[in-house]
Amino acid sequence: MTLDGVGVADDVWWKSAVVYQIYPRSFADSDGDGIGDLAGITARLDYLADLGVDVLWLSPVYPSPQDDNGYDISDYRDIEPMFGTLADFDRLLAAVHERGMRLVMDLVVNHTSDEHPWFRESREGPNSAKRDWYWWRRARKDGAMAGDRAGEGSPGAGSPGAAPNNWGSFFSGSAWQHDAASDEYYLHLFSPKQPDLNWENPEVRQAVYALMRWWLDRGVDGFRMDVINLISKHPDLPDGPLHGDGLYGDGSPYYICGPRVHEYLREMHREVFAGRPERLLTVGEMPGVTLEQARLFTDPARGEVDMVFQFEHVGLDFGRSKFDVRPLRLTDLKTSLGRWQTGLAEVGWNSLYWNNHDQPRIVSRFGDDGPEHRVRSATMLATVLHLHRGTPYVYQGEELGMTNAPFATFEDVHDIEALGHYAQAVRAGEDPDRVLDGLRARGRDNARTPMQWDASEHAGFTTGTPWLPVNPNHTTINAAAAVADPDSVYHHYRRLIALRHTEPAVVHGDFTMLLADDERLYAFTRSHRDTTLLVLANFTGEAVAAPADLAAEWARAPLVLGNAGPIDEMVLRPWEVRVHRHV
């Protein structure tokens, strides 16, 4: 069965692939300016090929003022000079393809930079031909009320009047910025320098599709689409329920998976992807997406996207907010991941990830990053993730077991989200030390410290001064040491990736959760034809005895992969994982 050129075959290449995310400014610096670049990535491709990954996903490399580290784009058809040139990009793309890998670009089209020519023209006034390319509104008529502090906590604060609605920004403060020249406000769900595009306007959509075709014609192999489920807003922009602080409203019911989002994505597929002979990869990052919505988005017959990034499992340790840390309950994790495995078993496909540029390091979050247990907990987490049904994503340094960074003071924090949260929380009377503790645990800077290549002064990342300090533990946690050690996290990732490439049960097998109520052991099977794999993992720092019936059933099944040496049939050591095969 096909629809709009989309096949529903079970053998599409990306189901057996592993994707590796590169955050370019932190991966490898070739010219000593302290910022990673395209030439640096090209020079490290053999490392990635040896790891065995199939796809490279680049976080944005387009021209940008870098207010949000490149997710504020000022030109969609060029390369940011700090990263290189289009010629450098073409060389990188050719070198990726020569090694049998593919390259996926980050597509950021919910918003642009306020320095993009589209917005500059839109900002010229209400009569501008591009005024309706963005969400412009006049002040609300009912006067000042909760949520009217447009721009508070953000650059350009102190605007007069009442914002058009009470929505808060993801980066703290109001989602509206006052423009003095026209006495109107524009919508920005993120930074004031990231105005939201108005996808209701068909000219906007056609401009986006044209730039996507431009990159595909250049040879890229698909797109990871940033917050793509936010592109459709309720046209009336209603107020949302107030947050606990009483300042701003939650507008998400009116823009998360909004009224026309499926229509837009189907149109995108018809305009951009349908009819192309190659099978391209489309991944939609979708905060707040439900399982039921994801089934629609990823149903191949509908022609929308191949898979989505959902955030349910990485929100399980949140309290009142992501920076209010609470311990993870393993049963919550099983319930969440198990629901998605079951829910997309017949229709759609899962993306599997622990880390990315927006998440803290998983070994510091759900594992144990101390010297005694770091390697074993990192390899256990990797095994559990990669052997679920779906396409795994590896974030740079994850394959080394890189950890969160030791941010000593607030001055060590760089990320715009963290800065906005700190300012708003302290202004609301929260204890600054407690706020900083939350930033240490959950701040996005943890993922953005430079890649640790070796034990030299700046970890082999740069010969200059790195834009963000290198984690001091790079002297022991680095690629050179990991490649040389057959028992390292790196080599465990190589074995995991090779298993996906050679064992059909990993890609195509049914998923069955075991021990659903156990707070210490995570266990499941993957079954395909005559082969069943058992994954059994200890999520604690204590030895845990496996249930006797499970141990007896699998005692004679060969061990395919493990991280603790010779096994004890009944007892799993701290953070141990085993994969058995029964034929």
User: What pLDDT does 552 receive?
Assistant: 87
Give the 3-state secondary structure of residue 420: helix
pLDDT (0 to 100) of residue 149: 41
Mean pLDDT estimate for the chain = 92
Q: What pTM value is reported for the model?
A: 0.93
Angstrom distance (rounded) from CA 504 to CA 523: 19
Measure the CA–CA gap between 124 and 166, rounded to whole angstroms: 25
pLDDT computed for residue 188 by the predictor = 98
Q: Per-residue confidence at 245, pLDDT binned at 50, 70, 90?
A: low
Tokens at residue 277, please? Answer: 């002979």
Least Cα distance to 78 among 249, 281, 218, 194 occurs for: 218
Q: By 3-state DSSP, what share of the chain in percent is helix, strand and coil, each rounded to 5?
A: 35, 15, 50
The residue from 152, 226, 368, 576 that is catalytic is 226
Query: Closest by alpha carbon to 199, among 255, 128, 121, 276?
Result: 255
Q: Are 402 and 382 contacting, i.e. CB atoms less than 8 angstroms apart?
A: no
Instruction: Report the C-alpha gap between 38 and 93 in whole angstroms.
Output: 10
The one catalytic residue among 285, 304, 369, 398: 285
Whole-number pLDDT of residue 430 = 81
Which residue, chain included where needed, has tokens 């002064």? 457
Structure tokens at 418: 């963290």
User: Does the pLDDT of residue 423 top 80, yes or no?
Assistant: no
CA distances from 268 to 186, 220, 302, 336, 553 (A): 25, 17, 12, 30, 50
Phi, psi of 191 (to 5 degrees): -70, 155
Span 132-156, pLDDT tens digits: 999 999 998 765 444 444 444 333 3
* pLDDT(513) > 50: yes
Alpha helices in 291-450 (DSSP H): 291-298, 330-343, 362-365, 374-386, 416-427, 432-442, 445-448
- Main-chain phi, psi angles of 196, to 5 degrees: -75, 135
281-294 per-position pLDDT tens digit:
999 999 999 999 99
Bridge-based pairing of strands 571-572 and 544-545 is antiparallel
Largest CA distance in the chain: 76
Q: Which of residues 583 and 54 earns the better pLDDT score? A: 54
Among candidate residues 285, 300, 406, the one with its CA nearest the CA of residue 21: 285
Give yes or no: 569 in active site.
no
Say if residues 283 and 222 touch (Cβ distance below 8 Å).
yes
* 343/164 Cα distance (integer angstroms): 39
pLDDT of residue 158: 34
Q: What value does the mean pLDDT take over residues 490-508?
A: 98
Q: Quick one: tokens of 379? A: 């390899």
Q: Which of 4-18, 355-369, 371-385, 463-477 has the lowest mean pLDDT?
A: 4-18
| DSSP line for 442-474 | H-THHHHSPP--SSSTTTTS-SS--SSPPPGGG
Residue 142: per-residue pLDDT: 61
User: Residue 402 above 90 pLDDT?
Assistant: yes
Contacts of 545 (CB under 8 A, 6+ apart): 570, 571, 572
Kindly give the residue spans of alpha helices, DSSP state H, lying in 104-168. Answer: 117-122
Based on the residue annotation, tell me whether 226 is a catalytic residue of this protein.
yes
> Tokens 């058809």 belong to which residue?
77
In tens, the pLDDT along 202-230 reads 999 999 999 999 999 999 999 999 999 99
**What does the block give as tokens for 257?**
């998976």
Q: How far is Cα of residue 397 from the mean position of the Cα atoms in its chain? A: 14
User: Of 1-5, 377-381, 431-435, which one has max mean pLDDT?
Assistant: 377-381
Whether residue 243 has pLDDT greater than 80 = no
pLDDT of residue 3 exceeding 60, the answer is no
